[in-house]
Structure 1
Amino acid sequence: MSALGCGPHYEYAIEEFCLAKFGLEMQELDQKNWCSWEDTVELYGELTNCTYLVALKMDCFWPNQLVDEFFIGVHNHYFYNCSLSGRLLRDPPNRILGPFIAMPILVTLLMTALVVWRSKRSEGIV
């Protein structure tokens, strides 16, 4: 019952307190870093916590439909152009990529050497 009674007031409060602060902090970030989880995780966590604390103070349930709609709006505005994983797409570091390249090459060379070695040994072949 209390969740229904505080709907418009709760919506106004999270927009004025939480979203305003989040918007200012996101504007301080370079827009190309908005999709970088490392750069936005703390800001996003603070936004989530803010919506929870306002709900707690206003005796509302959390999460609720207003919070869901609020975060959909946040994502549509700030994260609409990000990949599904929320991370910027880039190649992995060389220390990770290197073994994935070197291992098939080494296996191919080893198998080739094994075939050549076996073909030169004609023992037991009739």
Structure 2
Amino acid sequence: MFSGAEGRLSYEELSDCTRHVAGLLHCFWPGAAVDKFFIAVHQHYFRNCPVSGRALRDPPSSILYTLIVVPILVTLLVTALVVWKSKHPEGIV
């Protein structure tokens, strides 16, 4: 329902409102009663939010493949250099 800056602003306003009302009613903030109210309002107005925050997605394939292949190649390169240097000890200080 809300997205971007509008959603963030509305969410902050809801949080500030519950803090203010809890103070007027001499309730602890955050507290069980405030949390129950906050969740009810959140479910009504922010029903498109995923349960655990932002929905996680895989990066695009090109980035994913790069993140997988580069460390493998670096590992192989370092291993090859270590083996090569162990067979050719001249020049090692």
State the TM-score, normalized to the length of structure 1.
0.43
Structure 1 unmatched ranges of 5 or more? 1-26
**Could you tell me the percent identity over the aligned residues?**
35
Deviations 1:21-49 (A, max 9, x none): xxxxxx4x3xxx4xx7x763332221011
Within the alignment, does 1:50 sit opposite 2:37 as a pair?
no
Which protein, 1 or 2, shows the higher relative CO under an 8 Å CA cutoff with sep ≥ 6?
1
Where does 1:13-28 land on structure 2 (aligned, <5 Å)? 27=1
Compared CA separation, residues 54 and 81, structure 1 to 2 (3 A): closer
| Residue aligned with 2:27, SS | coil
Where does 1:30-109 land on structure 2 (aligned, <5 Å)? 33=3, 40-57=7-24, 59-63=25-29, 64-77=31-44, 78-79=46-47, 82-84=50-52, 86-91=53-58, 100-101=67-68, 102-109=70-77
Structure 2 letter corresponding to 1:62? F
Aligned pairs, how many? 84
| Larger helix share, 1 or 2 | 1
Deviations 1:52-105 (A, max 9, x none): 222334x43133433121122234443576152x11313459xx9788442332
Compared CA separation, residues 42 and 91, structure 1 to 2 (3 A): farther
Where does 1:107-122 land on structure 2 (aligned, <5 Å)? 107-115=75-83, 117=84, 121=87
Compared CA separation, residues 113 and 56, structure 1 to 2 (3 A): closer
Contact kept? 1:51, 1:67, Cα under 8 Å: yes
